[in-house]
Amino acid sequence: MSDITKQPLTELVENIKNKKLSSTEVTKAFIDRSEKSEKLNAYITNDFTSALDKSKKFDQKPNFNLKLPGIPMAVKDLFCTKNIKTTAGSKILNNFVPTYESTVTENIWNEGAILLGKLNCDEFAMGSSNETSFFGNVQSPIDKNLVPGGSSGGSASAVAGQLTPVTIGTDTGGSIRQPASFTGIVGLKPTYGSCSRYGIVAFASSLDQAGPMAQNVKDCALLHEVISSYDPKDSTSIDFKRGNYSKELTNNIKGKKIGIPKEYRVDGMPKEIEDLWQKGIQYIKDCGAETIDISLPNTSYALPTYYIVAPAEASSNLARYDGVKYGFRAEGENLIDMYEKTRSEGFGAEVQRRIMIGTYVLSSGYYDAYYLKAQKVRKLIKNDFDEAYKKVDAILTPSTPSSAFKMGEKTNDPVSMYLNDIFTVPVNLAGLPGISIPAGHDSKGYPLGLQIIGKAFDEQNILNIAYAMEEKINFKNKITDWWIK
């Protein structure tokens, strides 16, 4: 069977179950393509030899009752994988080999999937273009020298470039949805507490969430079903009845009320984005759902709030990287000197910048003015959504204020880089689920995404809306394999 790597996850699962394909054939196909795709720099670490062994073992004793039977999969290098190097895209963890497995990856292997390798990402997931990784830029499969977005840039590039059938990323302020939008794939950021954070390298603990990235909505639903679980090892994991998201997926969204928030029409937004949004509204109506104009009045305060809360939490979380117990260590004249040199040499510029912001906003005399203020505004932002959800079932917005940009274009201006996440950040602050689906192309032929935001724990609903819209949009990703030729 040709073009194995073009098949979406659900098709591969069917083909393996019906014995039209073996796990070895599928695994080999993705390894071959990954090996031809070094130019993308999507992988930090590969585990191809072991993956091939595991696939052969699977074929000798297949279990077709599993949800991901013998499916090869690469994951973001922010998930701890037992005995496989886990770097978080940082020099400071360059030599770190966990002796334990993250809960979400464990859920994936328990359903029969096979690890292909660890995917590149912005250092400690701090970035919107994958340019902050210690292991170098990731190329977008859409075009040469184009950023794949970030921080799950390697993940987005690997799915869009068909190096892995699906993957998981993490999303603290848009790190799944923005790269999904930039590369023409689907990315879901689940409700806070839906997927366990155990074994994920922490960035901002009150915002971080793992989620699936895939070629289509159905694949995304299936992978979400696998990774979402209650986990006593994460005190913020929530014990609620999780759905059979892929089985219950339906394109019948008749009568649903979808909110269109006027505050997402920001100054300087390209006309192409506005047009895309209008097209989205029409698709919603074509599906038999209703759109309602709503207001989320505090939207413009979300990004400033995020740039207090996230760095504050990051500066605390990253205090553990001091060169003492594990990771990179620089030699110093005394203990303090060792700490300072280790962190100065071990962290990249963006991570240092955010640790400094966080340290400052938490420092004596400034806590009330910044951190407490941000927590209060965060409450107002959450209240906006609570109010809106009295009238609507979900909210439709663009995923990003622009399409993907060229490498180096925004690296010298941190604020313009941060603006990438203007539409995704409010969702993390309010702990809600959001999904980005590819919805069109701009004049350069680059993908553009639409975001559907749901109520807490209402993943099924936004998956259904995404599924119905996907059918109407009929998006075709333009992948030319430029990096292989």
Binding site for another protein (CB under 8 A): 96-97, 99-100, 192-193, 206, 232, 235-236, 238-239, 298, 300-301, 303-305, 307-308, 315, 322, 324-326, 329, 335-341, 343-344, 347, 352-353, 355-357, 359-360, 363, 370, 372-380, 382, 413-415, 418, 430-431
For the bound state, the minimum distance from the C-beta of residue 179 to another protein, rounded and expressed in Å, comes to 22
DSSP structure string for 5-57: GGS-HHHHHHHHHTTSS-HHHHHHHHHHHHHTTGGG--EEEE-HHHHHHHHHH
- Dist CA 427 CA 203 (whole Å): 17
- Dist CA 322 CA 451 (whole Å): 39
Kindly tell me which of 4 and 207 has the beta carbon lying closer to another protein: 207
For the bound state, the minimum distance from the C-beta of residue 357 to another protein, rounded and expressed in Å, comes to 6
Give the pair of three-digit tokens for residue 406: 């060229």
Kindly tell me which of 385 and 475 has the beta carbon lying closer to another protein: 385
Catalytic option among 54, 76, 189, 455 = 76
For the bound state, the minimum distance from the C-beta of residue 474 to another protein, rounded and expressed in Å, comes to 36
Kindly tell me which of 193 and 259 has the beta carbon lying closer to another protein: 193
Kindly tell me which of 263 and 340 has the beta carbon lying closer to another protein: 340
- Dist CA 144 CA 482 (whole Å): 8
Beta strands in 223-348 (DSSP E): 257-261, 290-294
Kindly tell me which of 167 and 305 has the beta carbon lying closer to another protein: 305
Q: Are 227 and 195 in contact (CB under 8 A)?
A: yes
Catalytic option among 37, 102, 151, 155 = 151
Kindly tell me which of 258 and 381 has the beta carbon lying closer to another protein: 381
CA distances from 74 to 21, 112, 216, 325, 408 (A): 20, 14, 17, 28, 27
Could you tell me which residues come within 8 angstroms of residue 443 by beta carbon, excluding any fewer than 6 positions away? 272
76 is an active site residue: yes
Could you tell me which residues come within 8 angstroms of residue 247 by beta carbon, excluding any fewer than 6 positions away? none
Sign of CA dihedral 147, 281, 456, 256: negative
Beta strands in 47-97 (DSSP E): 72-76
For the bound state, the minimum distance from the C-beta of residue 5 to another protein, rounded and expressed in Å, comes to 36
Kindly tell me which of 189 and 256 has the beta carbon lying closer to another protein: 189
Nearest to 403 by CA among 417, 420, 415, 419: 420
For the bound state, the minimum distance from the C-beta of residue 453 to another protein, rounded and expressed in Å, comes to 15
For the bound state, the minimum distance from the C-beta of residue 159 to another protein, rounded and expressed in Å, comes to 28
- Dist CA 37 CA 42 (whole Å): 8
For the bound state, the minimum distance from the C-beta of residue 358 to another protein, rounded and expressed in Å, comes to 8
Could you tell me which residues come within 8 angstroms of residue 210 by beta carbon, excluding any fewer than 6 positions away? 79, 104, 168, 169, 170, 171, 190, 195, 196, 197, 200, 227
Q: Are 442 and 400 in contact (CB under 8 A)?
A: no
Catalytic residues: 76, 151, 175
